[in-house]
Each structure stands twice: as structure tokens, then as C-alpha cells.
Amino acid sequence: MVEKPIVTRESLRSGEIERLLHSGQNGQKIMSDEERLQLVEDTLRELGKNQELWVFGYGSLIWNPALEYEEQRRCLIQGYQKKFCFWTTLGRGSKDQPGLMMGLIKGDYCNGVSYRINPDKALSELDILFRREMLTFVYKPTWVTAHCVETNTDFTALTFVVDPDNHRYVDSLTLTETVRIIAMAEGPLGRNCDYLFQLSQKLHEYGFEEPELNELVTLVKQFQADQ
């Protein structure tokens, strides 16, 4: 069963998601409108003029981009890998039962999907994107080289890499602990496990081989069946 998206363009733009996630929560630092606007402008300045704007998605952006885009490409990036590596007490977890969210860390490679944004809509689309990904400060917007599988071409894309100095980053969990947390955690945006299941399903539909992710899906479902 596929979740109905709660995160939409409208809910992000209106601030509904921010209010939902932080209602009654424990005072995590939130990026202000001024900080977000400055970061968007700085990020675009790093790309430079007359270059295409691409956004590389490796998690929920794959099944729910919530962006207006001109083109999408199946691709991969080198030098990073995706991992459930930071705590969430907001979207898919709670203070009583934190969940784990996925981010990019240094590694071999990562499969995903890139979206080309109309340059006339760059500011507005990145504002929506940063409202989603940069609500707190666990990510760093990062320019990477993406390789398109179909066309065998490279291009520059924006993605989000986990800040290892952030207090929510975690790299000491065993596989058993990771499975238990993902299987049990739930928050205002839904169950932690559904994030995993939908990501695995969409990557499979795109034709990517994801043995580690598939193993995690199997183990989480086994854990749930045994409860």
C-alpha cells in the first residue's frame, strides 16, 4: 500500500509542514526564512550563470519530488552512499521513539534520480526544496557530479549530504538496532518503515540493484511479523 503524500508543494509553501513537525516538539533549531533565502541564493551563486540546474534525489524525492521540473534522469553519483544515519523526532519519529532518516555519507556510489529545473523557476523551486530538506540543519547542500545511466553523460547536480558534526548524526548502530528502530518508529509524516518500503519499491521500478536496501526491507518485515 502506497502512502498518500503529506509533503506537497502546497503544504511546504504554506508552512503547514513546518507547523506540523514542530508542534509540541523539543526545540530543535529551525532555519529562518531569512537564513533559507540567503542559503538558496548562495547555492545558486555557486552553480554560476548559464548552467542547468539539476537536483539529485536519493530518498523521498524519488517517489515524491514535489518540484516542478522539465526533465528527469536515472543516474548515480560517485563518492557517496545513502544510509539511515540520523535521528528524527519529527517527521517519522517522536521524542519517545525516535526514527532514523536517510542521508548521504562518504562512500562508493549512490543511485538516484535527477530533476532539471527551469532556470526561471530556480528561486521558487529551491525555496520549496529547502523548506523540505533544510528545515533543520542536519544536511549540507552540496554540488556533485551525476552520471546519467541512459546517455552516459555527466552533469552537475545539487544534493543534500549529512553534516557529521550535527548532534543528530549517528554511525554506531548495529544492523539489528537499525532494523528495530525503523520497524517501530512513527511520527506525524507516517511510519519510519514506509519510507524504507517506498524507496526500495521505486528504486526497483527504476531498475537499480540495491541488495543492502533489499536486505533491510526483508529484515524489517521479519521483525514486524515476529511482534
Q: What is the CATH number of the domain that holds 204?
A: 3.10.490.10
- Mean pLDDT within 153-169: 96
Overall number of domains in the chain: 1
Using CA of residue 132, residue 138, residue 143, residue 145, what is the dihedral sign?
negative
Taking the model in full, what pTM does it have? 0.90
SS3 state at 120: helix
pLDDT per position as a tens digit, 73-90: 999 999 999 999 999 988
Place of cell 530543535: 28
- Mean pLDDT within 153-181: 96
pLDDT per position as a tens digit, 34-60: 999 999 999 999 998 778 999 999 999
**Nearest in space to 139 (alpha carbons), one of 101, 187, 192:** 101
| Angstrom distance (rounded) from CA 17 to CA 144 | 28
pLDDT for the residue 17: 64
Residue span of the structural domain in which 69 resides: 9-226
| Angstrom distance (rounded) from CA 206 to CA 148 | 13
* Residue 2: count of CB within 10 angstroms of its CB: 10
pLDDT for the residue 204: 96
Residue 143 clears pLDDT 60, i.e. is over it: yes
**Length of the chain in terms of residues written:** 227
Cell of 3: 502512502
Residue 20 clears pLDDT 70, i.e. is over it: no
Q: How confident is the model at residue 6 (pLDDT cuts 50, 70, 90)?
A: confident
Place of cell 506525524: 188
Q: How confident is the model at residue 1 (pLDDT cuts 50, 70, 90)?
A: very low
**Nearest in space to 107 (alpha carbons), one of 83, 82, 79:** 79
**Nearest in space to 72 (alpha carbons), one of 97, 55, 86, 92:** 55
C-alpha distance across the termini of the chain, in Å: 20
**Nearest in space to 57 (alpha carbons), one of 166, 133, 137, 152:** 133
Residue 2 lies inside a defined structural domain of this protein: no
pLDDT for the residue 24: 46
